Amino acid sequence: MKILVVGSGGREHTICWKVSQNEKVEKVYCAPGNGGTELLEKGENVNLKGVDEILAFAKENKIDLTIVGSEELLVDGIVEKFQAEGLKIFGPDKKAALLEGSKAFAKDFMKKYGVKTAAYEVFKEAEKAKEYIKTCEFPLVVKASGLAAGKGVLICQNLEEALKAVDEIMIDKVFSSAGEQIVVEEFLDGVEASILSVTDSKIILPFISAKDHKKIGEKETGLNTGGMGTIAPNPYVTKEVYDKFITEIMNPTLEGIKAEGMDFAGFIFFGLMITAKGVYLLEYNMRLGDPETQVVLPLLESDFINLLESGIDRKLSEIDVKWSNKSACCVVLASGGYPEKYNKDYEITGMDSVDNMLFVAGAKLEDGKLLTNGGRVINVVAIGDNLEEARAKAYSDAKKVNFEKKYFRKDIGVLYR
């Protein structure tokens, strides 16, 4: 088999690593990939841009399965174009991709099908949004409706912050076209959980839970990032929480997918908030989460390729997914200055001395050396019999990998509540 993975981050490196474990897989192409995917034994990076180039490559190289990590390409309709050419691809069609591509569409979908979520209003005009905000209680959440690389969510503590958030998103366009429409949402106080899943539009198979640490600073302080680390399973996802997720969020989502005629095989990421009032859905992503993938896939004992092919064949109901009963921890090594300005092209050393897994996020291979090439550079991942052991292993390795101005949080996996 020849596999094509579309994307360039730590998630894509993890996917390439996981699919490489299938004996039938002889080649894993990653477009455009990174220094880590290039170093995989079965891996090869291909510099492709846009749906048409990727499609032409898949046809020419007789790719057996394409897995899409990029949300933009899903919204652009890459799945329909592949299917029209008779090529196997795992991901949502254009309509289903809107569940991630438009927060306004997603919230309306949740409301229509009874998915438990926070109260909200949608606005296309800044002045009307501001008028509404003046009637609200605080804290309050202001979101860019479109794709903003996981950074378009602003939690506002008071009226001044909320009005400023509207200006930044809608007037200053800090998230570019993602801010043409905004969602103003009730603030939910609680702890977050991520549940990744696969669906064939007949059933949804949830994966084990994970917990992301979004903020740049310890104790969840400072600016939002793409994620500074993760653990799995999430200790806050008790049986009671999981059961509520199934009945109040997952099952109504599946009903909505069927009712809306969304017929696809792909991933659904459920971003949850666990509160004293119950379990709420914050958002959908229609692809695997990053860096949640980095702790979830290493705990998957079933064959990943077989799982995806069963989805494409609409036979997920026949699959028994097996998970390790261990714990995993991912610590993200980031460039100093991230998520704002940071420098690139620092040499990364010490990767040969680690005892556990490393997934490359923002690094490139140049003249045999791995150089920093992004804000989040390396994902250090370890598995242990329990969370404490997984954390200890991950942090031991995090100290061994070095590059100039390396930064990482020291409290990934620490439970503050």
Encode the chain in three state secondary structure: CEEEEEECCHHHHHHHHHHHCCCCCCEEEEEECCHHHHHCCCEEECCCCHHHHHHHHHHHCCCCEEEECCHHHHHCCHHHHHHHCCCCEEECCHHHHHHHHCHHHHHHHHHHCCCCECCEEEECCHHHHHHHHCCCCCCEEEEECCCCCCCCEEEECCHHHHHHHHHHHHHCCCCHHHHHCEEEEECCCEEEEEEEEEECCCCEEEEEEEEECCEEECCCEEEECCCCEEEECCCCCCHHHHHHHHHHHHHHHHHHHHHCCCCCEEEEEEEEEEECCEEEEEEEECCCCCCCHHHHHHHECCCHHHHHHHHHCCCHHHCCCCECCCEEEEEEEEECCCCCCCCCCCECECHHHCCCEEEECCEEEECCEEEECCCEEEEEEEEECCHHHHHHHHHHHHCCCECCCEECCCCCCCCCC
Residues 6+ apart with CB under 8 A from 50: none
Instruction: State in Å, rounded, how far the first CA of the chain is from the last one.
Output: 46
pLDDT computed for residue 146 by the predictor? 86
Per-residue confidence (pLDDT) for residue 71, from 0 to 100: 82
The helix-helix angle for 126-133 and 159-166 (nearest 10°) equals: 170
What local confidence, expressed as pLDDT, does residue 49 receive? 87
Q: What is the pLDDT of residue 211?
A: 98
What pTM was estimated for this model as a whole? 0.94
The pLDDT value given to residue 390: 98
Domains recognised in the chain with CATH numbers: 2-91 (3.40.50.20), 125-180 (3.30.1490), 190-318 (3.30.470.20), 327-400 (3.90.600.10)
Residues 124-173 pLDDT 10s: 999 999 999 999 999 999 999 888 776 788 899 999 999 999 999 999 99
pLDDT under 70: residue ranges of the chain? 150
The candidate with the shortest Cα–Cα distance to 385, out of 332, 331, 324, is 324
Alpha-carbon gap, residue 351 to 397, rounded angstroms:
9
Distance of CA 109 to the CA centre of its chain: 20
Judge contact between 29 and 2, C-beta under 8 A: yes
What is the C-alpha separation between 103 and 122, in angstroms, rounded? 9
